[in-house]
Amino acid sequence: MHDIPSIKNYDIILASQSPRRQHLLKELGIDFTVRIKEVPELYPDHLKEEAIPVYLAKLKAEAFLDELSEKELLITADTIVWVNEQVLGKPIDYSDAFRMLRILSGTMHTVYTGVCLITKQKEKTFWASTQVYFRPLGDNEIEYYLNHHQPYDKAGAYGIQEWIGYVGVERINGSYFNVMGLPIQKLYDELKKF
């Protein structure tokens, strides 16, 4: 395990079934176990932008609080796409994914990820944002992507590390890994401070 003094006395738990989040945390050199719990991703209507994923990351973390031992540190995260004053979460089906990618085509949107670190004694939430610029996408390109990939577990119906990211994303402003679902550099800094 990479030596981060502030967390070496903790057993790290990642509460996410996202293979991308698991991969990113592993690449950080941190030993962790995965623990999953279904938590409805519901939030108050008045929340906007980063407040939504921060609220949801905290909600997910608090669902585990009674089960945590004294030496466990839990990491939860939630990612949304924010465009034209609306949130795009995970698509429910093909037509919903198609609709979302049509909205993102030719525009800039912001990806927000909220993260919660929690132990029996302490809680810390933070967030990161990345602006993503898509070139205009043809319907045939959206169809190709949806027919060859399964973006139904991804906010905004796309993975930047997949085909659509290669051909559609013109540029980003902010963390690439945040768009994948975990602002890993910010997480590293927060773990060092924890």
Residues in a beta bridge with 72 = 11
- Is residue 11 part of the annotated active site? The answer reads no
Per the CB < 8 A criterion, the answer to whether 61 and 116 are in contact is: yes
The residue with tokens 């991804």 is 154
Residue 8 CA: distances (Å) to CA of 4, 30, 124, 190: 6, 10, 17, 14
Active-site residue among 45, 78, 139, 189?
Answer: 78
- C-alpha 163 chain-centroid distance: 19
Torsion of CA 159, 164, 165, 166, to 10 degrees: 140
DSSP track, 16-51? ---HHHHHHHHHTT--EEE----------TT--TTH
Neighbouring CB atoms inside 10 A of 32's CB total: 18
- Which residues are catalytic, by number? 78
